[in-house]
Every structure is written in C-alpha cells, then in structure tokens.
Amino acid sequence: MFAKFFHVHFRHNLIRHLLSAVVIAVVLLHTSGLGHLPLLETLENLSYDLRVRQAATLGVDQRVVIIDIDEASLNQVGRWPWSRDRVADLIDILFDEYGVSTLGFDMVFAEPDNSSGLDTLESLARSALKDVPRFLDQVVALRPVLQRDNLMAQSLKDKPVVMGFYFKSVADTIESSGVLPAPLMTVEDLGEAGQRILKARSYGGNLKVLQEVGNLGGFFDNPRVDSDGVFRRVPLLQEFRGQIYPSLAVAVARLLWGNPPFTIGPNTLGWTAGPEEKVDIPVDDLMSVLVPYRGPSPSFRYISAADILERKVGKDDLLDKVALVGTTAPGLMDLRSTPMQNVYPGVEVHANIISGIFDGRIMARPDYLNGLEVLTILFLGLVLAMTLPRLSPLHNTLMTLGLMAAVIGLERYNWHNGTLFFLASPLLVTGGLFILHMSYGFFVESQGKRQIAKVFGQYIPKELVDEMSASGQEFAIGGESREMSVLFSDVRGFTTISEGLKPDELTRLMNFFLTPMTHIIHQRRGTIDKYMGDAIMAFWGAPLRDARHAYHAVQSGLDMIKGMETLRDELAQKGWPPMKIGVGVNSGMMNVGNMGSEFRMAYTVLGDAVNLGSRLESLTKQYGVGFIIGEETRRMTPEFLCRQLDLVRVKGKLEPVAIFEPLGLEEEQPADLKTAVARYHEALDHYRRQDWDAAEKLLQELKATDPDRKIYDIYLERLAQFRGHPPGDGWDGVFTHTSK
C-alpha cells in the first residue's frame, strides 16, 4: 500500500513539475524575445497603459501650443486646404506679430495651389488674348501675387519652421511624391546602429518650392503602432535609401537648440548644444520612444487658427512658444488610439514627445532590464514550483501574494527611476503557477466529470456532456458574464388552439411539438433553458463556449420554422389544428449561471440582451414574419441573407436597434430573392432619407410581385401617414413599439 501511495504521489508531483516547467518556459520564450505570446503582449500593453494613466497627472504644458485648424476656422476661412496665401498669412502673423520660437506642421503640402486663377489667365495670354498688350501687362503684374505657393515660400524663408512629411513602409506602397528635406546623416555615419533603423519604401513630401525654402522637415507617420492599434511607441528616426530623417517632434526640439550635431549612443540619441547643455533621449533598438503622455487631451493649449488670423489672441499666449499646426475639425481630425484615450489628437502625440524631451521624462528601456526580467521569472518559477506542492492552501496564498507584492515593488522602483520593467510576465507566472497547483487535484479527479453530467445533463444533449467531460475544463454553475445568443419561440394563436382540445390531447400535442423542436436545438449545440407552455427558451455559448453561437442560434431558428412545415401533414392526420411559430434570436453579453431560490434553482441567462430576444419574438406578429434577429446577431452572421425590417425602440429600451428577418444561407438563396431583398433595402434607404416618392415606387413594384409580404404594406401605410404629417429634419427613422 505504501509503495502504491508513493508511486501515485511521485507521479502527481512529477506531473505538477512538468506543468510548471511548461508555464515557465512559455513565459520565458516570450520575455526573452525567442517566441511570441499574444496573450502576454496584450497583458503587458494593458498593464503599461494603466501605469501611464496613473502617472500622467502633469496638467497642461504652457511651453507648447497647438494652432488648431478647427471647425470655427473652416467656417470662417473656408474648407481645407486653404489657399497658400492664407497659410502664408498665418506663418507671418505667428512669427512677426506673436513671436513664436518655432513652428512645426503636422501636415503635408503636397499639391500645388491653383486656386488663384493664374493658370486660366496665362492660358488666355497664350491664346485668345495674346495680341492684347494691356492684358499681357496685367498678367505679368499679377503673377507674383497669384503664385500663392511662392507667397508661402517667401513666408517660410529664414524662419524656424519644420515642414511635415510622411513615410510609407508597406511593400505595395504607391510611388513617392513631393521632395524630402535635407537628411540628418547617412546610414554609414551611424555604423552598426544604422542597421537597426526602420526602413521606409516611399514618402509623401511637400512641394519643392516649399520644402527647399523651409529646408527642415520631420516625418509624422508611425510604423510602430502596436497590434491593438494603440500609439505607445513612436520612432524618432527612419531611413530612406541610406539617408536618415528625424521625426517631427525631434526636428522641432532640435531646432530650438540651434540644430546642433546629432549623436547616437547605446540606447540613446540626442545632441550637445553647449558645455552644459546635453540632451539624451532614451530609445529602444529601433530608435523609438515610449510616448511620455502628460495626461488626457488636452494637455496643451489649443488656439484656433481663425483667432490667430484675426489677432484675437494675446501676445503673451504665444510669445517664445513652440507652435504645432494640426487639426481637430470634423472630417480632418487626425485621431489616434493611445493609452490615455481611445480618441486622441495625433498632433498632441508630437507635442507630448517634445514636452518629454524638454523635461527628460521619456521612459528608458536599457538592455539589462531584459536579463533582469528573465532572472526574475526563473526565480519566481523555481521557488513556486518547489514549494507550492508542499504547503497548505493558506500558506500558498500568503506566499504568492508576498511574491506578487515584491514584483510590483520592483516595478515601482524602476518606474520612478525612469525605466520600464515589464509587469505582466512575472505576475502571470506567479498567478498561473498558484492556480495550477491549487486546482490540480480537482482537475485530475473523476468527480469533476460526474459533477458535470449531474449539473448539466438536464439542460444539454448527452453528446455535449461527454465533450465537456473530455475537455478537462472547469464548468462552474456560478454566475458569470459571457457573450452568447438566446432564442425564444412561441406558437401563434396557442390560446385558441388549446381551447379546442381536451387536456390529454393538449398534452400529447405539446409533447409532439416540443420533442422535434428540442432535437433541432440540441443538434445545433444549444442549451434548453425552459419550456413555458407552448414557448421555448434556449441559449448558445454556455456551459460550453461556442465561438459560432450566433450562427448556431440562427440556423436553429430556421430549422425550427422548416420543421413546423414538415409537421403539418402529421398534425392533420391526428386531427389537430395547424400550428405556426414565431422565433426571435438576439446576441450580446448575458449573465449565465444557476439562479433561483433556496427552494428551486435553474441554469439560465439574464440581461438586457435576453430581454431584447423575447421582444424580437413578439415583434414577428407585427411584421408578419416567422423569424426576427437583432442587429448584433446580424453582425455576427454575415453568411445569412437577411431582410432588414426596421429600426425600432422596443418597450423597456431607449436605444434603437435594427431588426432583421433571416432568409437562409446567402449562397443557397435564388437570385430573384436576392434581387428583391436588395430592391427592398433600396426602398428602405429612400424612406429613411424621406424620399417618399422613390420609396413608394419601389415598394409598389415589390408588392405587385409578392402581395402577401406584410412589410411592404407596413411601409406603404407609414409613407401615407408621413405625406400628411412629415416627421421633420430631426427624424432618425426609428419606430417606437409601446407594447411587448
């Protein structure tokens, strides 16, 4: 017996150590850069974003201002792009009257300005009016005034202005346009460091007449956007055909120091402006920086360009300030997703980098930190793997919490010293090993499988119970929130049907109807929630997660409606009345779990998405259809051909939702049906734009080919009503249902 116990104990410990080694190895591969784990990358990004938001409490930086091409500017000056003489006025006013120290453009002037009409005058001078000396003299006199690109070039001359441009790095990029400014240096000048700089394939530059006068330039694109689309890192240098170019932020900041020679060292770049003025900017191996966000937008003062042109701004607001020209106007706004906000002006990203260079706030990521993180993970993994199997649950918990606190303390120490220590990887190893060892015994016992069958066997088919048992996962009956799909079905006119049958006949009828409907739901991996008389409620996505829960729910609804048609003859043979059902399906976040009272529990779903599913089933009667799905379900099932029925506000919900009638898999539907649906959607578009005549014409044509389609009558009735009582300009096309 002792030998058997020792063997089992040794085997279990060996398995635990092997599992621990796998966890540690996976995290180490990611941390060392030898592998890539998307989950860890996501967790690291989330933890970094949280720390940035906690630390970004510096308020508004008065040293940098943003000259905003805002909506007020467009309303006053005109749509963008403005004529170059207008931009020239803006430059002259900023320098000559307000005394800004430096100006940077977060935009590119790629196209010539032909708005003055000079081309037309010169064409006439060469043709119809070439023999009119007075006209030719006037053209010559007006040419300097009408050559607006030259006017802007004159304004740029001898002024500390950085012109913006952009690089493209994708393989299928279109050819370059415009010209580039003078480069900082060549790849050869940098030696080995030059091989690490990001390489561009093409560029979009400014007009030659503008860039050659301005000379200085900086790129404003960011090829280092993370996989989740968030601006965390921005390159300060990029290479194009052996030449090195700076970013807009670096070019502006360096210009303030008088354009001193550029220097690149291990994990730093910068310049020396004097004996006691040395600027060092921490960079990673791709010459990129972590953007030092000061806080949420606005972290810098925004001044409308229109106010500058009208001299409405006080001189002290701009004197000796760094000015960046950007835009927040609708349709022009350069929006980015950042750790601070999902919607963040792109020009403010450059402003944050400039501010960070001023203050030395850019976070460093020295090479030794990667080795420190690897050693930390190895230490945590070995300590936990050796001690967790031997300690009690309480001691395991205390030790794990203590190690997590130590990791967080190490991270805080590095952060306050200006270095970024990755946090998610060591915490994941610590927490993951704790969970692994604490739950190991439970997962390896057969009791778990029996418990699954006991708890869920009454809700789902045996095949899914077996799949759950074989998966080795834990399926809790406690409440949790999941994205799922729910289905409601109801028999039309069931009250009338039941009144005409004896109690025993009614029981047989319900069994006859519910059995095949349940079989259809089980075939599509659905879970029966409950039977409510003649109604069925089912859901997908729990207890087994189902990535295609919406597809299975919609297919079940279609199969149920088709199944009722196949039952028609059998109902007639048994002397029972014909039956039709209405089906509603909705998808979204739902709470699922064992709910009820101390007297009775049920595994069910709750939430707004569930309530909406019930409302959708009720709406099938009002729209004369057998099946309605919500807009979230429609979004998740593009493979089905659907007819959009309406935009509605159902009872109990304020936000409107689009409702659809699924017709089947699109690839299986005949061409004439697809055409009819497309023409109906065209009519619906005319209706919502209040083009009553076009909508009515299409609907009448559709009704002529399908006179029994109730939805056509519904919209024709609404059109007749709106002709007499128009809904007005603010109408959103939504129909409000006041009953369930």
- Phi/psi for 29 (5° steps) reads -60, -40
pLDDT tens digit sequence for 104-155: 999 999 888 876 555 665 565 566 666 666 666 565 665 665 667 888 888 9
Strand partners, 206: 179
Q: 553 near 540, Cβ under 8 Å?
A: yes
pTM: 0.57
Burial class (CB in 10 A: 0-12, 13-18, 19+), 64: buried
Q: Which pLDDT belongs to residue 6?
A: 37
Distance of CA 10 to the CA centre of its chain: 49
Q: What is the DSSP string of 637-667?
A: -TTEEEEEEEEEE-TT--S-EEEEEEEEEGG
Please check whether residue 382 is in contact with residue 423, taking contact to mean a CB–CB distance below 8 angstroms. no
Q: Specify the pLDDT at position 570.
A: 87
> Quick one: which of 299, 416, 426 has its CA closest to 364?
416
Of 533, 567, 570, 540, whose CA–CA distance to 555 is shortest? 540
* Dihedral angle sign, alpha carbons of residues 520, 523, 524, 530: positive
Predicted confidence at residue 666, as pLDDT, reads 95
Contact between 102 and 351 under an 8 Å Cβ cutoff? The reply is no
- Classified as helix, coil or strand, 113 is coil
Residues 219 and 204 sit within 8 Å (Cβ to Cβ): no
- Identity of the amino acid at 43: L
Secondary structure (3-state) at 253: helix
CA 170 vs CA 200, 240, 404: distances in Å: 8, 13, 41
**Low-confidence winner among 126-130, 265-269, 396-400, 672-676 (lowest mean pLDDT):** 126-130
Element (H, E) at 631: helix 631-636
**AA identity, residue 146:** L
Query: Which residues make Cβ contacts (< 8 Å) with residue 353, sequence separation at least 6?
Result: 234, 236, 247, 249, 250, 253, 289, 291, 292, 362
Question: Any idea which of 19-28, 46-55, 422-431 has the lowest mean pLDDT?
Answer: 19-28
Q: Cα–Cα distance between 279 and 78 in angstroms, integer?
A: 41
Winning range, highest mean pLDDT, from 126-130, 489-493, 632-636 = 632-636
Pairing of strands 480-491, 61-69: unpaired
Q: What is the pLDDT of residues 313-334, one digit of tens each?
A: 999 999 999 999 998 877 666 7
56: three-class secondary structure by DSSP: coil
Give 341's DSSP letter. Answer: -
For residue 500, the number of C-alpha atoms closer than 13 Å in the C-beta half-sphere is 9
Q: What is the pLDDT of residues 246-287, one digit of tens each?
A: 999 999 999 999 889 888 877 888 888 777 788 889 988 888
